[in-house]
Amino acid sequence: MRWRKARLPGWPFPNRSAVQQERAPLARDLRPVIPGIRRRKPRSVPRVMLVQPGARHNYALARFLNRHDMLQRLYTDFALGTGHPFRRLSHLPLPAGVKAKLNRRATDALPARMIRSGVNVALPGARRHTLRPPSARDVAASDGFYLQYFTDGPELRARAPGKPIISDVFIVPGAYRAVDREVADFPDWGEAPTPPDLARRYDTHSLAMFEQSDVLFCPSQAVIDDVTGYGAAFAQKCRLVPYGASLRASVGTPEPGRVLFCGSLHLRKGVHYIRAAADMLRASHPHIRFVFAGGGSTVMRAKLVAPNVELLGHLGKAELMREFARADLFLFPSLAEGAAGTVLEAMASGLPIVATREGGVDFTDGTSGIVLPPRDPQAIADAVVRIVEDRALRAALSAGATREAEAYSMAAWEARFIAAVSDVF
């Protein structure tokens, strides 16, 4: 006959005897004085909760924190870490759009247990979605919070008033003002001004972020300058922590006169000023072509059509890499960014940069490219002609862009970010 082992009094730990259960508290109390009993080491790095809607940079910040054992949890709307059961769906015959979304939200560098996904809908049809509230356990275990543009900031400030909040100001806070100015000046380009109520909400949220955050991480000097426009005192909270790019340096064979722009076709990106520059050069420099890689509205695309303009539409990564290899230089006269990743990718591809400071990348003027004043098609035309016609200058700027791109590699970004976060704590 087979006898079943009786349940011991110390039921939560059935493999321990009752005597062992009684001795356990005593052993814990005597750990500091009894040789041979291991003590738990105090943490040498902070634990940071990251709140991030969307998959910005493919969750790079969460991956950085996790690699350094600093991530308490990532709270986001939808992410698939390793071990998530939805990862298996990508092998099923799903619609291409569904597969693409699953792939965009998948990350192999984060285990699923470190991610809390999900949204709450305030009211049916209200179009107001909020992330899942952080658990009380995660709030208590976190030494502080890193928030994308102060997402859930007021709630976390109320729940943990003594813990530091770092807000990532990933775009110029007053970007909508730049858009409204262009809409007023170019009313027939198919864009609408920001509704007044939405503009007030933008400013209210931005001011709450500036006032309640302990530190503001800004990816470019343009962002810092705009933040200080809301109040000179906020400059003390700003830290310049530039982003990086995952593209490795790969210099192609340029086609002289092929000028590449990459980004969505909106007035904020300055595409209408590129169109004006193209008109200036059409007769005098017919070999110069302006190539737009990016999607846009029907009205916008119609406005950009010209004999020396190519509209490629939205490109996949492989197609975009081929365009980087063909381009002679990269043009980005944006009026309001945080840090344009396409500029960093162009630098890594060895392309001379012709861009505004408002484009969000603080490249060295005269070494990696030419800095443009905003809203100046004549300056665009002059810079393009100067580089295209002077091949020695083009070669020097290309080499400078490749060298400077090393400061924006993923490894450099990770080291910069981790050092900045550690400094806060």
246-257 pLDDT, tens digit each: 876 567 789 999
With both helix axes pointing from N to C terminus, report the angle between 341-348 and 317-326 in degrees, rounded to the nearest 10.
60
The predicted pLDDT at position 97 comes to 64
The verdict on residue 363 lying in a domain is yes
Same domain, 302 and 207: no
Report which secondary-structure segment, H or E, holds 242: none
Same domain, 393 and 310: yes
Residue with tokens 């400071």: 357
Same domain, 419 and 380: no
> Do the beta carbons of residue 12 and residue 21 sit within 8 Å?
no
The verdict on residue 190 lying in a domain is yes
| Alpha-carbon distances, residue 101 vs 174, 211, 270, 391 (angstroms) | 30, 36, 29, 42
Same domain, 209 and 357: no
Parts of the chain with a pLDDT under 70: 1-43, 83-92, 94, 96-106, 119-130, 248-250
Domain of 332: which CATH number?
3.40.50.2000
DSSP letter for each residue of 173-205: TTHHHHHHHHHHH-GGGS--PPPHHHHHHHHHH
355-414 pLDDT, tens digit each: 999 999 999 999 999 999 999 999 999 999 999 999 999 999 999 999 999 999 999 999
* Domain carrying residue 170: 48-245+411-424
> Do the beta carbons of residue 277 and residue 384 sit within 8 Å?
yes
From 240, 2, 52, select the one nearest 64 (Cα to Cα). Answer: 52
Count CB-CB contacts under 10 A for residue 90. 14
DSSP 8-state class, residue 65: H
The verdict on residue 144 lying in a domain is yes
Residue 181 identity (one-letter amino acid): R
The predicted pLDDT at position 38 comes to 44
Count CB-CB contacts under 10 A for residue 124. 6
Same domain, 192 and 295: no
> Do the beta carbons of residue 236 and residue 258 sit within 8 Å?
no
Please give the Cα distance from 336 to 370 (Å, whole number): 18
Per the structure, the count of domains in the chain is 2
Cα angle for residues 342, 344, 348 (degrees, 5° grid): 115
The encoded tokens of residue 240 equal 């310049």
Same domain, 148 and 136: yes
How much helix, strand and coil, in percent to the nearest 5, is found in the chain?
45, 15, 40
The verdict on residue 308 lying in a domain is yes
Please give the Cα distance from 237 to 323 (Å, whole number): 40
The predicted pLDDT at position 111 comes to 87
Residue with tokens 């595409």: 271
The verdict on residue 346 lying in a domain is yes
Same domain, 297 and 309: yes
All residues at 6 or more sequence positions from 195 whose CB lies less than 8 Å from its CB, including other chains: none
Strand partners, 130: 120
The predicted pLDDT at position 99 comes to 59
Same domain, 379 and 314: yes
The verdict on residue 232 lying in a domain is yes
Please give the Cα distance from 223 to 172 (Å, whole number): 5
Strands 115-117 and 215-218: unpaired
Same domain, 218 and 296: no
Domain of 203: which CATH number?
3.40.50
Measured in whole angstroms, how far is the alpha carbon of residue 207 from the centre of its chain? 21
Cα angle for residues 218, 223, 228 (degrees, 5° grid): 105
Same domain, 292 and 231: no
Strand partners, 49: 73, 145
Strand partners, 331: 354
DSSP letter for each residue of 84-110: -GGGGGGGS---HHHHHHHHHTEEEEE
The predicted pLDDT at position 123 comes to 37
With both helix axes pointing from N to C terminus, report the angle between 391-405 and 377-389 in degrees, rounded to the nearest 10.
100
The predicted pLDDT at position 79 comes to 79
Please give the Cα distance from 62 to 116 (Å, whole number): 12
Please give the Cα distance from 15 to 27 (Å, whole number): 18
pTM above 0.95, yes or no: no
Please give the Cα distance from 290 to 332 (Å, whole number): 12
The verdict on residue 356 lying in a domain is yes
Same domain, 400 and 416: no
Same domain, 234 and 295: no
The verdict on residue 390 lying in a domain is yes
